[in-house]
Amino acid sequence: MLRRNFTVTAGIILVSGLLASPAFSADFQSKYYDLPLTNDWMAQKVKDVNVPAGGDATLFASKKFGEGVLITVMPSDVPAKDAADKMAQSYKQQGMRIIAGPVQIPGQNSYRFTYVSANKKMRAITFVTSNGKNLSQISVLGRQGTQGTYLLKGLKPKEEGLFPKL
């Protein structure tokens, strides 16, 4: 079930997220975090039908930088390591190439891996973190991922241990 949820989150969510609802610019708030949006970063909530049950997903995109950030939070007591390993395995089975990880971020209950799509047109850095009751997946999409990672430095969690410290 977890594997299916990640597949749905990673695959369908990117396309459907763009069509889900009006985009927000300015500071973005969810029940799990606040995120100040700078430059031309825009946020779009993903339709609930495309999100794991009880979860929350938002796609952030910057036309200027050509990067995107997908933040998904779902209820789960699955350890971050297990979830990251299952995600990486699922992506491999879908034809993506894991080029780094999953590796633990030192001193955190967070794991990171990097993958490239089968057609080599998309690169993503994915962070998987768990606090024992919720699981977060953050994917920074784009060639370098530097601006998406920079955006995440402003992330203000509302639950302890739910997101990586970048």
Give pLDDT tens digits for 59-111. 999 999 999 999 999 999 999 999 999 999 999 999 999 998 899 999 999 99
Q: State the SS3 of 36-67.
A: CCCCCCEEEECCHHHCCCCCEEEEEEECCCCE
Question: Does the pLDDT value for residue 11 go beyond 50?
Answer: no
CATH class for domain 2-157?
Answer: alpha beta
Question: Does the pLDDT value for residue 21 go beyond 60?
Answer: no
Strand partners, 110: 129
Closest to 108 measured CA to CA, from 35, 159, 161: 161
What's the rounded Cα separation, in Å, for the pair 100 and 161? 23
Question: Does the pLDDT value for residue 8 go beyond 70?
Answer: no
Would you say 85 and 141 are in contact if contact means Cβ atoms under 8 Å apart?
A: no
